[in-house]
């Protein structure tokens, strides 16, 4: 039994958009990137910059694999590994009580403090990549393309909306502290 290929297309598109946006954000804020990685305090300070650029390279590789469909299983595995590693890094810092540091996702104009919501978001995205390991048939009908692209963009729009809500929630809390 094979999975509907439009589901695989939607998952690939979601992963492509998430990682491409993450890479673009990190490149846009490249002057802050090593500092954000260092702020996690998981690596010796001298490794923060190389680690940050390694993350950018790996995210780029995942986005390219998912976008092109070249070695999609490897792209999905890399995407899942990155998302789980990010969730673990956030979880470690949350356990240390370090909620005030920026997550380093660079997905929005708003700074995002660490939260269990961000950990959950990354784990949910990792789960969303798992259908790419199932066997799929070829996209043979035009509506399969439409379904896959529409579902991929819809999933990405939901992801971005959730991301913005997490950012705004923290910003609103900061404003309440200042004015109350």
Instruction: Dump pLDDT digits (tens) for 123-150.
Output: 999 999 999 998 777 777 888 889 999 9
Question: Measured between alpha carbons, how far is residue 164 from residues 19, 46, 101, 172 in Å?
Answer: 17, 32, 17, 12
- Using DSSP, state whether 112 is helix, strand or coil: coil
Q: Which residue has the higher pLDDT, 4 or 119?
A: 119
Quote the mean pLDDT of the chain.
Answer: 89
Distance CA 24, CA 33 (A): 12
Segment 6-10 mean pLDDT: 92
Has residue 109 got a pLDDT over 60?
A: no
Which residues are CB-neighbours of 93 under 8 A, at least 6 positions away?
40, 41, 99, 101, 114
Specify the pLDDT at position 141: 82
Which residues are CB-neighbours of 146 under 8 A, at least 6 positions away?
none
Kindly indicate the confidence band of residue 172, based on its pLDDT and cuts at 50, 70 and 90.
Answer: low
Helix crossing, 48-68 with 30-39: angle to 10°?
A: 110
Which residues are CB-neighbours of 64 under 8 A, at least 6 positions away?
70, 75
- CA within 13 Å, CB half, 176: 6
Q: Which residue has the higher pLDDT, 105 or 158?
A: 158
């Amino acid at each position: 039994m094979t999975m509907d290929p439009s589901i695989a297309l939607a998952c690939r598109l979601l992963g492509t958009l998430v990682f491409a946006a993450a890479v673009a954000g990190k490149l846009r804020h490249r002057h802050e990137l090593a500092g954000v990685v260092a702020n996690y305090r998981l690596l010796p300070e001298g490794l923060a910059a190389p680690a940050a650029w390694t993350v950018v390279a790996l995210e780029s590789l995942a986005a390219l694999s998912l976008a092109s469909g070249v070695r999609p299983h490897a792209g999905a595995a890399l995407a899942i590994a990155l998302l789980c590693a990010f969730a673990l890094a956030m979880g470690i810092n949350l356990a240390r009580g370090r909620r005030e540091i920026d997550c380093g996702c660079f997905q929005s104009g708003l700074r995002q403090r660490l939260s269990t919501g961000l950990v959950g978001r990354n784990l949910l995205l990792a789960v969303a990549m798992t259908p790419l390991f199932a066997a799929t048939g070829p996209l043979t009908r035009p509506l399969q393309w439409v379904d896959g692209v529409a579902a991929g963009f819809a999933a990405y729009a939901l992801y971005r909306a959730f991301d913005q809500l997490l950012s705004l929630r923290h910003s609103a809390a900061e404003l309440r502290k200042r004015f109350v």
